Amino acid sequence: MGALSLGNIGKEYGEARAVDGITLDFPEGQLTALLGPSGCGKTTLLRMIAGLEVPTRGTITMGGRDITRVPAHKRKFGMVFQSFALFPHLSVRDNVAYALTIAGTPRGEAAARADRLLDLVQLAGLGERRIGQLSGGQRQRVAIARALAQEPDVFLLDEPMSALDAKLREEMQVELRLLQQRLGVTTIVVTHDQREAMTMADRIIVMSRGKVEQEGTPQEIYHWPATGFVAGFIGRANFMDGIARDGRIMVGEIALSLPQAARFLDGSPVQLACRPEAIRMGEGGAGANRVQGRVTFVRDLGPVRDFHLETVLGKLVVEHGSDQSTSPKIGETVHLTLPPEALRIYPRLPPQDLSGGVPSALAAE
Ligand code: ATP
Q: Helix (H, G, I), strand (E, B), or coil: what is residue 165?
A: coil
- What is the second-level CATH architecture of the domain 4-222? 3-Layer(aba) Sandwich (3.40)
The whole-number pLDDT of residue 351 equals 59
Q: Helix (H, G, I), strand (E, B), or coil: what is residue 41?
A: coil
DSSP 239-250: EEEEEEETTEEE
The whole-number pLDDT of residue 285 equals 66
Q: Name residue 311's beta-bridge partners.
A: 293, 314
Treating both helix axes as pointing N-terminal to C-terminal, what angle do 92-102 and 107-120 enclose, rounded to 10 degrees?
130
Q: State in Å: Cα 229 to ligand 1 middle.
A: 20
Written as one letter, the residue type at 78 is G
Q: State in Å: Cα 16 to ligand 1 middle.
A: 9
Length of the chain in terms of residues written: 365
The whole-number pLDDT of residue 136 equals 84
The whole-number pLDDT of residue 85 equals 80
- What kind and span of H or E run contains 145? helix 136-148
Q: State in Å: Cα 42 to ligand 1 middle.
A: 8
- What kind and span of H or E run contains 141? helix 136-148
Q: State in Å: Cα 6 to ligand 1 middle.
A: 19
The answer to whether 135 touches 100, Cβ cutoff 8 Å, is no
Ligand 1: residue whose CA is nearest its atom 30: 13
Would you give the end-to-end CA distance of the chain in angstroms?
Answer: 41
Ligand 1: lining residues by beta carbon, under 6 Å: 13, 16, 18, 36, 38-44, 192
User: Could you tell me the residue ranges of all domains in the chain?
Assistant: 4-222, 240-363
Q: Which residues of the chain have pLDDT under 50?
A: 353-365
The answer to whether 197 touches 218, Cβ cutoff 8 Å, is yes
Report how far residue 41's alpha carbon sits from residue 239's, in angstroms, rounded to the nearest whole number: 26
Residue (of 29, 24, 22) closest to 1 by Cα position: 29
Report how far residue 118's alpha carbon sits from residue 197's, in angstroms, rounded to the nearest whole number: 25
Could you give the dihedral angle defined by the CA atoms of residues 178, 184, 185 and 191, in that order, rounded to the nearest 10 degrees?
40
- What is the second-level CATH architecture of the domain 240-363? Beta Barrel (2.40)
Q: What is the pLDDT of residues 263-320, one digit of tens each?
A: 999 999 999 999 999 999 986 667 789 999 999 999 999 889 999 999 999 999 999 9
The whole-number pLDDT of residue 355 equals 46
Q: State in Å: Cα 204 to ligand 1 middle.
A: 20
Ligand 1: residue whose CA is nearest its atom 29: 13
Report how far residue 311's alpha carbon sits from residue 118's, in angstroms, rounded to the nearest whole number: 56
Ligand 1: residue whose CA is nearest its atom 11: 41
Ligand 1: residue whose CA is nearest its atom 28: 13
The whole-number pLDDT of residue 1 equals 67
